[in-house]
Structure 1
Amino acid sequence: MARKSEITLRLFQPGDEIAVGNVLTQAYDTPAEARLVQSLRDCGAMEVELLAYDDEKTVGYIGFSRHEAPRNWFSLMPLAVLPYRRNIGVGADLIRYGLDYVRRAGADAVTVVGDGRYYQRFGFTYRAAQNLTTPYSIERTLLYPIAPGSAFSDATLVYPEAFATVD
C-alpha cells in the first residue's frame, strides 16, 4: 500500500483537464462529474481546484465553485480520489487545503451535499445549514461557516446554471 507521504497537492493548471476528467470518471464510474467541472470552468464559476498526485499521476481532485447566491458563498463539489489511493488521507488533505484556499479567496461560507459522517470532521454542520433553501436535499446539505453570521443564515442557495445540465 502506498504511503500518504508520497502525495503532493497543487493548484489546477491549464493542461490538467484530461487528468482531472480521468480521476472524476474513475472515482464516480460516470463522466457526469467531469462534465460538470468542465462546464463550471467554462462559465467561470470554478473558484478553487486542487489536485493530489504521486509520481506525476493525478490521484485526487477537489473543486469549489461560487454560488450565484448568496454572494461569496462557495460549493464544495466534487471531491474525488482514485479507489487505490483511498483511506490514506488524500481526501482529507484536499478538503483541509481547499478550505484554506477558499478562505483566502474571500468565501463567507462553503456548502456541501454529501455524507455528513465524513464532512462533519472538517467543520461542516447540518445545524448551521438548517435555515437554507436549496434545490438539493436539505437532509444531505451541510454548511461550513466562515464569516460571522453565515451560520444559520436564512438564505436560498443558487447554484451556477451548469448544475442544472448534469445527468
Structure 2
Amino acid sequence: MRIEEETHAQRAQTHALNRAAFGRADEADLVDRLRADGLVRLSLVAVEDDEVVGHILFTRLPTRVDGREVDAVALAPMAVHPHWQGAGVGSELVREGLARLACEGCEAAIVLGHPGYYPRFGFSAALAAKLASPFAGEAFMALELAAGGLRGEAGEVRYPAAFGIDAA
C-alpha cells in the first residue's frame, strides 16, 4: 500500500470509497462541496493495486486565538474501505497528512471525531475547549502542528458554509 496525493483521476474512486465507508452519501458529498469551494489544503489516498482503499481530507479552517490568525485545517472526513478497516490504513493516512502539513508550516489541526481514536495522534479535547465552535465536548479536538500554534486564552473556529454547520 502507498500513500499519495489524490489525483483528479482518482476522485470517482474517492467518492465511492467515502460512500462505502460511511454507508451513506453525506461525507462523499461534503468532499465534493469542499473541493468546489476551493478549500482543500491536502487530500491523500491510500492505494493498493491501483485501487483507492483509504482517503483523508484536510481543508482550510478559519481560526483565531487572542485575535491572531492561526494557519489551521479541519480533518474531515477520513475514510477507509470496509474491507481494509482495522488494518492501519487510517492511522497511516492521519500520520502522513499531519506530517506533510507540519512541514508546510500549518500550525494546527482540528477534528470532530472519535475520542478513542484521535488522541493517539496527539489530538486533545482540552486544547480545543478554548475554541468557540458549533462543537464542544470530548469529540471536538485540536492538535498543534507547530509549537504554540494555538497558544492564547480564547479563540474561535469558523466552519465554511460547505460543512453545512451554523457558525459559532
TM-score (ref. length: structure 2): 0.89
Q: 1:85 maps to which residue?
A: 84
* Letter aligned with residue 56 of structure 1: D
* Letter aligned with residue 156 of structure 1: E
Q: 2:122 maps to which residue?
A: 123
* CA–CA separation in structure 1 for the residues paired with 2:41 and 2:16: 20
- Provide closer, same or farther for how the CA distance between residues 63 and 42 of structure 1 changes in structure 2, counting only shifts above 3 A: same
Q: Which has the higher strand share?
A: 2
Q: Which runs of 5+ in 1 are unaligned?
A: 1-6
* CA–CA separation in structure 2 for the residues paired with 1:75 and 1:65: 5
1:131·1:152 contact (CA, 8 Å) conserved in 2? no
Q: Which has the higher helix share?
A: 1
Q: 2:140 maps to which residue?
A: 141
Q: Deviations for 1:49-102, whole angstroms, at most 9, x for unmatched residues?
A: 100011111110000001123341101001100111011110000000000111
1:1-167 alignment runs, 5 A limit: 7-70=1-64, 71-151=70-150, 153=152, 154-164=154-164
Runs of 4+ in 1 over 6 A off after TM superposition: none
Q: Aligned residue pairs: how many?
A: 159
2:115·2:138 contact (CA, 8 Å) conserved in 1? no
* CA–CA separation in structure 2 for the residues paired with 1:110 and 1:68: 11
Q: Which runs of 5+ in 2 are unaligned?
A: 65-69
Aligned with 2:106: secondary structure? coil
Q: Deviations for 1:22-54, whole angstroms, at most 9, x for unmatched residues?
A: 110000011111111111111110100100011
2:72·2:107 contact (CA, 8 Å) conserved in 1? yes
* CA–CA separation in structure 1 for the residues paired with 2:155 and 2:122: 20
* CA–CA separation in structure 2 for the residues paired with 1:68 and 1:130: 16
- 1:152, CA displacement in angstroms? 5.6
Q: Sequence identity, in percent?
A: 30
- 1:125, CA displacement in angstroms? 0.9
2:105·2:146 contact (CA, 8 Å) conserved in 1? no
Provide the aligned C-alpha RMSD in A: 1.4
- 1:147, CA displacement in angstroms? 2.6
Q: Deviations for 1:89-122, whole angstroms, at most 9, x for unmatched residues?
A: 1000000000011112321100000112100111
